[in-house]
Structure 1
Amino acid sequence: MAKQFNVPPVIFPSGNNPNPNPTAQRNRPATAPFQPPRSTPSSLPFMSFDIGTAATSLPPPLYGASATVIGGGFEDEPPLLEELGINTKQIWHKTISILNPFKLNPDLHEHADLSGPFIFLMAFGLFQLLAGKLHFGIILGWVTVSALFLYVVFNMLAGRNGNLDLYRCLSLIGYCMLPIVILSALSLFVPQGGVVIFAVTGVFVVWSTRVCTRLLVELASCGDEHRGLIAYACFLIYVLFSLLVVF
């Protein structure tokens, strides 16, 4: 019987493997193919970020914005009403001028706006709602139709020289609605269907007509020549709104 000898395996060392020990290669854990080598935390790009230089590395502001807006707080922000284009002082001065029909200042109404008229129309609808009448849609619709009516009538009278636009018509009609708003508030305490309510309504309608006619004549050109016809158109508009209060 032949005697067997244990011959160790022959391993040829290569340049890429400095450790020719087969036991070490056999015990080495397997790695997934195409896996990138692990890097130390110091080699990560975000670990080397310098917080102190963050402000200097920011991109320049776009669209002409100033650099103070980026780091500014709420103290640098303008008021919300100013951002919305609502000038409360201007609305207050216009309201005071309407309340005194004998000392009306047309210069205050040179710049038209719809913030004050919208407040007056909502107040008018609220007083009507307190009287048991839901007229918000009717009020807004009638104001739009009234502005179109006054715009067409005035420009037909003035001809090519007329410079009254629809936006100014809406503004003037809305501000001159203040006496009708006061009438709707007083109607809550006055008995309906009597002589008193009709007499009070006539006074407030004449008040609104006078104020609106004077503003149109002063602010629009060629209005003084047709003062009577403009006053008649304004009278019809405010009589229409006063019917909501009376009936």
Structure 2
Amino acid sequence: MAFYNQQPQGNFYNQIPQQQQSQFASSNPVSTSYPAFGGVQGTMDSQFAPSGSMNSSNNSGVELSKGILAAFSTSGYPNEPPLLEEIGINFQHIKLKTLAVLNPRGGFIGPEIRNDADLAGPLLFCLIFGLFLLLAGKVQFDYIYGVALFGTVSLFYFFKLMSDEGNISFSGTASVLGYCLLPLVPIAFVGIFLDLNNFFGYLLSALSIVWSTYSASGIFVAVLGVRNIRLLIAYPLAMFYSIFVLMAIFVEKTAN
């Protein structure tokens, strides 16, 4: 029949008036044109393009570097957290917890301080404390870490028995004890220049012990959620910090 023998007179897109073609092109600026197939030329939007092509851009359109050197570069994805925060070192939490120790009556101890189990700050304070003792001629790094480990284990189980819910962790206990060691660091610094085995040294050491004990007991009371037993919590803490003060006051005598 004549209907089946009729040949197409052109593709469909070319039969559209020129004005409508320009409007269609302006409304689809990212369309991808494909050659005519069987006399018909079609257009396909770029969203239907194959997704398996290799490119160096992420979903947000930010170009990333290529090659093996990209593994050692500092480029990354947007809104990516810093590396220190990914491994558990948050400087904002370190700052908040340090201020809570230095000013124990400064206000409410928020959950970001109570639930923080950061150990970077305690390790730094122990290292500085031992360094000041070393400058004073007292090599006692083994005693510092030994007493810290034994005291942390003992106090952790002691406080866990006192808590009804047991909502305290070993790392959280070590974090609080380490941060509250900060008031004792000036004692070790003063011991570099002055002899602490006198009345002035005893008085200064006693004030530092009270400061550390008051700060630590306040945080532990908030963590454990207990009341009216702060003195019971403060007693073992005072003995714990007194051992560090004795390291700063007395000099180990060596045999001649």
- The TM-score with structure 1 as length reference comes to 0.67
Which of 232, 242, 247 is matched with 1:244 structurally? 247
- The answer for the alignment partner of 1:91 in structure 2 is 94
Is 1:81 matched with 2:84? yes
What is the aligned-residue identity percentage? 32
Aligned to 2:147: 142
Q: Shift of residue 80 of structure 1?
A: 4.1
Name the structure 1 match of 2:193: 189
Give the aligned residue type for 2:196. Q
The residue aligned with 1:154 is 159
1:56 aligns with 2:53: yes
Query: For residues 57 and 193 of structure 1, what CA distance do their matches in structure 2 show?
Result: 72
Deviation at 1:206, TM superposition (A): 0.3
Offset of residue 109 of structure 1: 1.6
Question: 8 Å contact 1:97–1:105 — kept in the other structure?
Answer: no
Shift in alpha-carbon separation, 1:167–1:175, aligned structure 2, 3 A: same
Mapping 1:169-180, distance limit 5 Å: 169-180=173-184
Contact 2:213 2:241 in 1 (8 A): yes
Contact 1:155 1:164 in 2 (8 A): yes
Cα shift at 1:79: 4.1
Match of 1:219, SS state, is helix
- Please give the alpha-carbon distance, in whole angstroms, between the structure 2 residues aligned to 1:224 and 1:189: 42
Deviations 1:150-193 (CA, angstroms, capped at 9, x unpaired): 112222233x4332221111000000000011221122233232
Gap regions ≥5 residues in structure 2:
1-51, 251-256
TM-score by length of structure 2 reads: 0.65
Q: Secondary structure at the match of 2:105?
A: helix
Alignment size in residue pairs: 188
Q: 1:193 to 1:69 in 2, by over 3 A?
A: same
Shift of 1:213: 0.3
Contact 2:65 2:75 (C-alpha < 8 Å) held by counterparts: no
- Greater CA drift, 209-218 or 103-112: 103-112
99-108 vs 179-188, greater mean Cα deviation: 99-108
Aligned counterparts of 2:156 and 2:136: Cα–Cα separation in 1 = 32
2:211 aligned partner, one-letter code:
W
Residues 80-103 of structure 1: CA deviation (Å, up to 9, x unaligned): 423432112221222122112321
Residue 149 of structure 2 aligns to a residue whose secondary structure is helix
Q: Deviations over 1:27-74 (max 9, x none)?
A: xxxxxxxxxxxxxxxxxxxxxxxxxxxx9358xx9xxxx996674652
Matched residues in 2 for 1:104 and 1:127: separation?
31
Letter in 1 for 2:148: V
State the structure with more CA Rg.
1
